[in-house]
Structure 1
Amino acid sequence: MPYKVLVLTKYGSLGGSSRYRFYQYLPYLKSQNFDLTIAPLLDNQYVTNINNGQRNFTNVLRSYFQRLVRLMRDRDYDLLWVEKELFPYIPEWLEHKIIGNIPYAVDYDDAQFHIYDYYGSKLTKTLLASKIDRVMAHARLVIAGNKYIASRAERAGAKHIEIIPTVIDLDRYSIKNSIDPSRALNIGWIGSPGTSTYLKSIQSVFEDVYRHHNCAFTLVGAGALTLGNLDLNIKKWQENTEVEDIKSFDVGIMPLDSTPWEEGKCGIKLIQYMACGLPVVGTPIGVNQEIIAHGVNGFQANNLHEWTEYLSKFASDPQLCAEMGAKGREMVESKYCLQVTAPKMAQLLRACI
């Protein structure tokens, strides 16, 4: 008999966290005797609207109601596979009552608990500060994207915790052609309008590097971002073109702030860059410190001076870009790809059932 699993993602397939942590696993899991029903809380139209700066709370409430009806009506599942929580900003005791005796596995690719205990309003902190801890404690399995999340699950009393990094599918990513030294070095970033604010912290770096080297800046998914008078090539993110867009880069970057929220990030940008054979520069916080082998596949930049120094190194040395890019691809092939993690995911979900 197949294993019946209700997959309760937060977003449709256009939501990055849902796409990488759930949707890309579905074909393999189906081949392993899993009968999967996909039920996102917020659909692709919601994701598109958010990226365009549009919010419709009536539609969100309707989505909550639809999920509630599904869970109350359809109980014939061996396992619920949940992204983060069933209903954001709803107390855990109510979620637990709705789930009843159906076992569930819960997956985190960011520090969702800090939405409530760190960034929340006074009322949110009072009512929900320990919500995610309770979700983790009641889960049959907590799948954490990194050690920071796993350590929180351990403190929460989770029964079973496994770390599975956020990964890419090697079948979708090929290595870019060698850098043409006669053209400008293309420094690239990929993300969403919500995360593009990190780029503002290194605006002066872009200006310094541009002033002294032949370089260009391409930002994919940044929305209507401006960085002073810099000439930015901003492209709209599209799933069917994202790999080719990344392959147009020569160096991939991931600047971050230094707060508890960033500790929970899973570094997917870095992994995408390296999968295409690009060297990287990133802020050494959280899992970035594990993904970036300093001086091997890229550089960890601790301050603005180091950001300028390392990007300047790449602008002056195409061979260094190629050598570090090759090392990055090797790391992705050995650790950060679906081909490595999918069998483990199937084993874990099967064990839950």
Structure 2
Amino acid sequence: MRALFLVLHRKDRSPGQRYRHEQYLNYLQENGIECTISPLLATEKEDGIFYGNKVIPKIWIGLKALFRRFNSIRRAHTFDVVYIYRDAFFFGTFFENWLRRKKIKIIYDFDDAIWLMDQNPNQGIFNKLKNPKKTASICKIADRVIVGNEYLANYASKFNEDVAIIPSTINFDDYQFDKITNDKICIGWTGSFSTIKHFETVIPALEMLKEKYQDKIYFKVIGDPQYTHDALGIKGIKWQSETEAQDLSELAIGLMPLPDNEWTRGKCAMKGLQYMALGIPTIMSPVGVNADIISDGNNGYLASSTDEWVEKLSILIEDQVLREKVGKAGKKTVEEAYSVEANKEKWLRAFQF
């Protein structure tokens, strides 16, 4: 079998792509599925379409991406199946409809509530070109839909009868790092410039903890190098794929705060799973799949209000033995249900028709 992967970024550029399909490419190929990756943005320079603010360069990069996608679609008939992650192009469903007319089998995969308008502040006027209804349209024409959790599956099932749930997963081969230990307790978060707003929802609790524990604790933010919080001594650092797990290994406690809304209920808890895979005791908001992953007080903690965040964090700050116990239980949870090894057969079956 030959499979064409229509994706946004080149390999090992996007955490979303890596935690969905990229970790399984070797396994698929070992089992007779030849995988060809076709990214819209092929170079580091072209990433500027997301992070830059100049309109003309974005239009130019967009035109190059359009030409690149046309070239991919022209040869799609030479493949047995086309896998689409989120969408084939930034706007519209022209390419998906073209594949359907040619009766080429389509596997459609998404891991967020992308039918909602969660706008990127760096996209400016381009946000107005987005059409969240395209998600339903692609679900309708796909031969199979893969999603990351039950909330997303409930949506996709309205438009397609063949929906498979495969969680975003951790490759333990990439997480073989000993936790960094020191006299101070590092409380940390990982994300991006677009999700730093979620981290900020827990700032009142962290300020109370800093006043309570002073120099016994410090904070680390990974993913938004522009982020600073002087009172908490935070200077964000850049996310880098090659040092991701090592950067996280400094954390004694991992945070995943989320507001409760339609968008966040579709999240797949990846940052929480990353902490847990490293044996880092994790506290999450009980939103969406988080409440399914965490058994409060056993393999992690759930916290909603500022008072609960302070309470749960204080428990872990004050008890090193408990941190180790909860961390080990969390790691076991990931190994058994949210690892590549535990889910590879599901991905293989997803490509079998």
| TM-score, length basis structure 1 | 0.90
Cα distance in structure 1, aligned partners of 2:307 and 2:285: 12
SS in 1 for 2:224: coil
Which of 133, 141, 155 is the equivalent residue of 1:130?
133
Report the alpha carbon displacement of residue 229 of structure 1 after superposing the two structures with TM.
2.0
State the partner residue of 2:85.
Answer: 83
Cα distance in structure 2, aligned partners of 1:47 and 1:199: 28
State the partner residue of 1:39.
Answer: 38
Report the alpha carbon displacement of residue 129 of structure 1 after superposing the two structures with TM.
4.8
State the partner residue of 1:68.
Answer: 70
State the partner residue of 2:98.
Answer: 97
- Please list the CA deviations of residues 234-275 of structure 1 after superposition, one character each: whole Å capped at 9, or x if unmatched: 322111111111111001101112221111110110111000
Report the alpha carbon displacement of residue 10 of structure 1 after superposing the two structures with TM.
2.1
Cα distance in structure 2, aligned partners of 1:179 and 1:222: 24
Distance 1:74-1:347 versus aligned 2 partners, 3 A rule: closer
Cα distance in structure 1, aligned partners of 2:250 and 2:321: 17
Cα distance in structure 1, aligned partners of 2:132 and 2:174: 39
- Please list the CA deviations of residues 63-116 of structure 1 after superposition, one character each: whole Å capped at 9, or x if unmatched: 1221022202442010001101212321x3663125521111011111111138
Whether contact under 8 Å (1:9, 1:38) holds in the other structure is yes
Distance 1:36-1:328 versus aligned 2 partners, 3 A rule: same
Distance 1:279-1:50 versus aligned 2 partners, 3 A rule: farther
Cα distance in structure 2, aligned partners of 1:260 and 1:254: 17
SS in 2 for 1:81: strand
Report the alpha carbon displacement of residue 53 of structure 1 after superposing the two structures with TM.
4.8
- Amino acid paired to 2:157: E
Residues 1-353 of structure 1: pairs in structure 2 closer than 5 A: 3-12=1-10, 13-43=12-42, 45=44, 49=48, 53=52, 56-90=58-92, 92=93, 95-99=96-100, 100-115=102-117, 128-156=131-159, 158-174=160-176, 176-177=178-179, 183-213=183-213, 214-349=216-351, 351-352=352-353
Cα distance in structure 2, aligned partners of 1:169 and 1:267: 15
Whether contact under 8 Å (2:299, 2:328) holds in the other structure is yes
SS in 1 for 2:309: helix
Greater shift, 219-228 or 254-263, is seen at 219-228
Cα distance in structure 2, aligned partners of 1:14 and 1:127: 23
Distance 1:75-1:16 versus aligned 2 partners, 3 A rule: same
Distance 1:50-1:331 versus aligned 2 partners, 3 A rule: farther
Report the alpha carbon displacement of residue 316 of structure 1 after superposing the two structures with TM.
0.7
SS in 2 for 1:40: strand
Unaligned runs of 5+ in 1: none
Report the alpha carbon displacement of residue 44 of structure 1 after superposing the two structures with TM.
5.0
Cα distance in structure 2, aligned partners of 1:58 and 1:82: 23
Cα distance in structure 1, aligned partners of 2:257 and 2:26: 33
Greater shift, 327-336 or 221-230, is seen at 221-230
Cα distance in structure 2, aligned partners of 1:217 and 1:248: 10
- Amino acid paired to 1:142: V
Identical positions, percent? 29
Whether contact under 8 Å (2:225, 2:235) holds in the other structure is no
Report the alpha carbon displacement of residue 173 of structure 1 after superposing the two structures with TM.
1.3
Whether contact under 8 Å (1:15, 1:44) holds in the other structure is no
Whether contact under 8 Å (1:175, 1:277) holds in the other structure is no
- Please list the CA deviations of residues 117-167 of structure 1 after superposition, one character each: whole Å capped at 9, or x if unmatched: 9x9x9xx999945321121121111001001110001112x1311100000
- Amino acid paired to 1:167: T
Whether contact under 8 Å (1:150, 1:163) holds in the other structure is yes
Report the alpha carbon displacement of residue 319 of structure 1 after superposing the two structures with TM.
1.0
Cα distance in structure 1, aligned partners of 2:14 and 2:46: 6
- Amino acid paired to 2:40: L
